[in-house]
């Protein structure tokens, strides 16, 4: 029994991506237990809601990005093959316009549109607002998925196996979806999805932080969903983060960070720790994929 457990642990640590996934979950669970013990209940509930909303929106962005990337990769491939130049030019031109806009600027513009709709009382449901926020980010994130899928189609469409399946009567759409995407590119797509999840969290936290210090209090405190970004922008969290700088000048104050400044420290830790773990998971998964 003990020998079997040791072998299982060894296999897990040999697969660094799984090991880092375990470290991520273990770190978040440990932090959650610590907050239950030492953080006041209102702040704890706010942080818990912010974490759930942030991860839920990031997951929604990933799902939307995969869907849009899949759809547009097929559209681009079949339009290019059909030699129908006008629709193909329009699609490619539209995609290049989106690609030319810096991500954070484009997402901020769409967020301002959402804010305008909220001011006009056209949307007030928190879940619709979260969905619109996810769509805003996905519009500028799905291009990475689309580029990967187009690259995989172009690579395999030049091989003999692609032509052999066509000769056997297999539909081209079936070859692309089943043989290329699902069977031959599953690992590459999953690696891109992992990296996209991390970049989405970073973008979302950055933009929510910017909006929270730049928009009106009415919109932020009442209508906008609670996320790690806008929670970090609150005055209590800022003071907690500044306490870290005070600790550098006064090391004896260090122990107080984990009791008196737990809200800001928790938010900052979740963001940094999550981004670090996802970076490690993505790199380790790619190394295993290439080995």
37: tokens are 């013990």
The reported pLDDT for the residue numbered 219 is 47
| 10-23: pLDDT as tens digits | 565 567 888 899 99
The reported pLDDT for the residue numbered 193 is 94
50: tokens are 């912010």
- List b or e across 270-284, with b for residues whose CB sees 16 or more CB atoms inside 10 angstroms: bbeebeebbebbbbb
Q: How many Å apart are CA 120 and CA 99, to the nearest integer?
A: 30
| 221-261: pLDDT as tens digits | 446 788 898 888 887 787 877 787 778 788 887 777 788 88
| 21-33: pLDDT as tens digits | 999 999 999 999 9
Instruction: Answer yes or no: are the C-beta atoms of 146 and 72 closer than 8 Å.
Output: yes
Query: Between these two residues, 224 and 45, which has the higher pLDDT value?
Result: 45
CA-to-CA dists, residue 260 to 83, 246, 250, 265, angstroms: 66, 13, 15, 10
Which residues are CB-contacts of 183 (< 8 A; sequence separation ≥ 6)? none
What average pLDDT score do residues 60-89 get?
91
Which residues are CB-contacts of 103 (< 8 A; sequence separation ≥ 6)? 140, 141, 203
Q: Which helix (H) or strand (E) holds 30?
A: helix 16-38
269: tokens are 């830790």
What average pLDDT score do residues 200-209 get?
90
| 79-123: pLDDT as tens digits | 988 877 888 899 999 999 999 998 888 998 898 888 888 888 888
Q: How many Å apart are CA 53 and CA 56, to the nearest integer?
A: 5
Instruction: Answer yes or no: are the C-beta atoms of 224 and 129 closer than 8 Å.
Output: yes
Query: Between these two residues, 49 and 289, which has the higher pLDDT value?
Result: 49
Q: How many Å apart are CA 204 and CA 231, to the nearest integer?
A: 12
Instruction: Answer yes or no: are the C-beta atoms of 20 and 281 closer than 8 Å.
Output: yes
Instruction: Answer yes or no: are the C-beta atoms of 44 and 35 closer than 8 Å.
Output: yes
Q: How many Å apart are CA 274 and CA 228, to the nearest integer?
A: 12
């Amino acid at each position: 029994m003990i020998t079997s457990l040791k072998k299982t642990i060894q296999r897990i640590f040999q697969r660094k991506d799984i090991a880092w996934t375990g470290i991520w979950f273990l770190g978040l669970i440990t932090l959650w237990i610590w907050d239950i013990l030492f953080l006041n209940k209102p702040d704890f509930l706010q942080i818990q809601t912010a974490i759930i909303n942030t991860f839920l929106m990031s997951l929604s962005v990933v799902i939307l990005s995969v869907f849009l990337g899949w759809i547009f990769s097929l559209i681009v491939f079949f339009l290019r093959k059909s030699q129908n130049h006008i629709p193909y030019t329009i699609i490619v031109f539209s995609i290049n316009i989106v690609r030319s806009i810096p991500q954070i600027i484009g997402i901020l513009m769409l967020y301002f549109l959402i804010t305008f709709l909220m001011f006009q009382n056209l949307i007030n449901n928190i879940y619709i607002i979260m969905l619109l926020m996810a769509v805003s980010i996905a519009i500028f994130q799905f291009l990475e998925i689309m580029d990967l899928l187009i690259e995989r189609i172009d690579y395999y469409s030049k091989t003999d196996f692609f032509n052999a399946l066509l000769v056997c009567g297999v539909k081209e759409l079936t070859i692309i979806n089943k043989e290329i995407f699902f069977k031959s590119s599953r690992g590459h797509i999953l690696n891109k999805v992992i990296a996209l999840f991390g970049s989405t969290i970073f973008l979302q936290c950055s933009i929510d932080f910017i909006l929270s210090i730049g928009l009106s209090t009415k919109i932020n405190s009442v209508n906008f969903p609670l996320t790690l970004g806008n929670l970090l922008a609150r005055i209590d969290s800022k003071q907690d983060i500044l306490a870290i700088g005070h600790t550098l000048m006064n090391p004896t104050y260090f122990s107080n960070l984990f009791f008196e400044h737990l809200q800001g420290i928790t938010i900052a830790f979740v963001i940094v720790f999550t981004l670090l773990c996802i970076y490690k998971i993505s790199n380790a998964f790619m190394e295993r994929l290439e080995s």
